[in-house]
Amino acid sequence: MMKTKFLAQFCLSCILLSFVDIASAQTLTPTEIVKRAQDKVNGSSSQGTMKMSIVRPGWSREVTMKAWSLGNDFSMIYITSPAKDAGQVFLKRHNDMWNWMPSINRMIKIPPSMMGQSWMGSDFTNDDLVKMNSMVDDYEHHITGNEVIDGYDCYIIELIPKQEAAVVWGKILVWISKKEYYELKSEYYDEDQVLTNSMTASDIKLMGDRMLPSKMVMIPRDTEKEGHETRLEMIDTRFNIQITEEFFSQQNMKTVR
């Protein structure tokens, strides 16, 4: 009798907890879900090292880099290898982006029209790597469904650009896990709503003070680019570091290491 009573109480507790989880999830708007996913990846600031592998039919190459960020408005990327690219620096401040090229002692401002172009020959765009656009602020968000990705129950959220937003994509679909807020898959569509690129994230591990997907693979969906892909691996990351806006300056681009 006691066992039966205990089992009944246990089952009731599980049911109540499940309702609490559902209610908690339902209180979050699609925009808040996207913000939680972005905050988990970015933190208030960060510093890390990454390796990018560009794969093409018949050849591949690797690029390693250091990266710093402060919120959504400031980021800097310093290329450490290969030798021919080492020393290049990319800076983003608000809506502006620059490239310092020490080999020719020249600072180049990258215009908005070039933000959708390939970054260093990869399948990522200039916009992707410097996080020029905020997925939270520049888009309207709508939950369109649910899907399980690698064992994680995910929201499928559609991002439609706001009318005034200067963004590259005509639409983005993101798959965000419901409990952990991992962004596990993204699809990028052009202005004609044609699927252009898709990205998957995997290999979840401890990165700094949080668990995060550490590998991302971007694949172009153009039939003429069959066999093309770019892999980005986070080697190490520290979040919420002490860093100021002054770090992200054109002068510092020439001296940062």
Residue 145 lies in a domain: yes
CATH number of the CATH domain containing 249: 2.50.20.10
Count of domains for the chain = 1
Please tell me the distance from the alpha carbon of residue 33 to that of residue 18, in angstroms, as a whole number: 19
Can you give the pTM of this predicted structure? Answer: 0.84
- The pLDDT assigned to 94 comes to 85
pLDDT of residue 164: 84
How high is the pLDDT of residue 134? 76
19: in domain? no
205: phi then psi, degrees, rounded to nearest 5 = -150, 175
C-alpha to C-alpha distances, 42 to 71, 87, 130, 145, 234, nearest whole angstrom = 7, 24, 12, 25, 13
* Residue whose pair of structure tokens reads 């649910």 in the numeric block: 146
* Residue 37 · residue 183 · CB < 8 Å: yes
CA distance 174 to 195: 13
Task: Collect all residues with Cβ–Cβ distance below 8 Å to 7 and sequence separation of at least 6.
Answer: none
CA 57 from centroid of its chain's CA atoms: 26
- At 9 the three-state DSSP class reads helix
Rounded to whole angstroms, the Cα distance separating 232 from 41 reads 14
pLDDT of residue 5: 43
* Within a domain: 221: yes
Q: For residue 6, give every residue at least 6 positions away whose Cβ sits within 8 Å of its Cβ, in sequence order, or none.
A: none
149 φ/ψ sector (left φ>0, alpha ψ -120 to 50, else beta):
beta
111, part of any domain: yes
**What pLDDT does residue 63 have?**
97
Residue 6: per-residue pLDDT: 38
pLDDT score for 8: 43
**pLDDT tens for each residue of the chain, 257 residues long:** 444 443 444 344 443 344 344 444 458 999 999 999 999 998 899 999 999 999 999 999 999 999 999 988 899 999 999 999 999 999 999 878 999 999 999 999 998 788 888 999 999 988 776 655 678 988 999 999 999 999 999 999 999 999 988 788 999 999 999 999 999 999 999 999 999 999 999 999 999 999 999 999 999 998 889 999 999 999 999 999 999 999 999 999 999 99
Does residue 23 sit within a domain? no
Q: What is the pLDDT of residue 34?
A: 96
Q: Report how far apart the first and last C-alpha atoms of the chain are (Å, whole number).
A: 70
Q: What is the pLDDT of residue 72?
A: 81
Q: Which domain holds residue 190?
A: 30-253
Using a CB cutoff of 8 Å and minimum separation of 24, what contacts does 56-62 make? 56/227, 56/228, 57/226, 57/227, 57/228
Q: Is residue 160 part of a domain?
A: yes
